[in-house]
Amino acid sequence: MKRIEGLVTATHTPMNEKGELKLEVIDEYYTFLKRNNIKGIF
């Protein structure tokens, strides 16, 4: 198994006011994590 090196972070699940998944923000969230050099999420 390859060891993960770098920052690994727990992420939140984006939801709207009704408690439904807010899928439209996933791409922007991914870009934010990548831009901040996050190497893994859980």
Structural domain contains residue 16: yes
Q: Judge whether residue 42 has pLDDT over 90.
A: no
Q: Cα 5–39–3 angle (5° rounding)? A: 30
The confidence score (pLDDT) of residue 3 equals 87
For the entire predicted model, the pTM comes to 0.70
From the DSSP assignment, how many helices (H) and strands (E) are in the chain? 1, 2
| Higher pLDDT pick, 7 / 4 | 7
How many angstroms separate the CA atoms of 34 and 41, rounded?
11
How many angstroms separate the CA atoms of 19 and 2, rounded?
36
The per-residue pLDDT for range 5-41, each reduced to its tens digit, is 899 999 989 999 999 999 999 999 999 999 999 988 9
The confidence score (pLDDT) of residue 1 equals 87
- Domain region containing 12: 7-41
Structural domain contains residue 1: no
The confidence score (pLDDT) of residue 10 equals 93
Structural domain contains residue 2: no
Instruction: Please tell me the total count of domains within the chain.
Output: 1
How many angstroms separate the CA atoms of 11 and 40, rounded?
10
Structural domain contains residue 17: yes
